[in-house]
Amino acid sequence: MPKVNKKTLNLRGNVLDLATPVVMGILNVTADSFYAESRVQSVDQAVDQAGIMILEGASVLDIGGYSTRPGAIDIDSEAEANRVLPIFEALVRAFPDFALSVDTFRASVARQAVEAGAVMVNDVSGGTLDPLMFETVAQLGVPYVLMHMRGTPQTMTEHTVYQNLVPDILFEMQEQFLKLRALGQNDILIDPGFGFAKTPQQNFQLLNQLESFQSFHAPLLVGLSRKSTIWRTLNIRPEEALNGTTVLNTIALTKGAAILRVHDVREAVEAIQLLNSCRSAG
């Protein structure tokens, strides 16, 4: 397996070992996320779903209250916070030692979520939509997922023109990465942003060249789960895209992915286990 220099994350005093890849389960506290099965509509449902994902082998749960599917409806920061904060409070009570991440591009929501128990911030905008995000995360002292996106969730499909796809993305991410480092941010994860300001063909090209992102010497987080690149290519529905997800996740693992962000935890855990068994057999 390709190597990266950084193999651990400091989750507010707890160490997450990434020497073997791990799984991040998705909990969407929204009514319009593209995959209906990932949506939770109540605190009790969130706790139940979280319990299942933990039993299936998730190492982190990622909770988001803002749908980032193409063309999603915009909501303000207060509405977003009102969606996710009760979920964090309930999950901390139910699973006090489990790692929780907040999926937000807003510094105010990130701060409130960390105060409520989150130990990681997953920002789909890579700091481009809130000028206070980098400073806030550095102050909070939690790992930060730097993802590549252009525009906003509402406009990103209009920003898919690149002179040279992977070098352009690396250049844009490096600028943000160096800003974070200058602020003293230690734990940074790199997410190339599959599906965000990228066409299906570009997503396949990105996956094919995923090793390029190891130049950051930071863990790679990959989010391919049930995305339109899979179901549009196969002419199926998102509900039928689990097999395709597993195939692409396995390819990502062979190219150095350290964290798989998924809707279906058990299948991702199994892919990691089988690949590791294959490699250890020599």
Rounded-to-integer distance, Cα 222 and Cα 210, Å: 10
Catalytic residue among 39, 226, 255, 261, which?
Answer: 261
d(Cα 86, Cα 70) in Å, to the nearest integer? 26
Number of C-beta neighbours around residue 73 at 10 A: 12
Spot the catalytic one: 106, 150, 227, 255: 227
Residue 23, classed as helix, strand or coil, is strand
Token duo for residue 252: 């990502």
Cβ 261 vs Cβ 10: under 8 Å: no
Beta strand pairing call for 8-11 and 188-191: unpaired
Is 227 marked active-site? Answer: yes
* 52 sits in which H/E element: helix 43-56
The answer to whether the beta carbons of residues 171 and 212 sit under 8 Å apart is: no
**CB-based contact 218:7 (threshold 8 Å):** no
The CA distance from 36 to 277, in Å, is 33
Catalytic residues: 227, 261
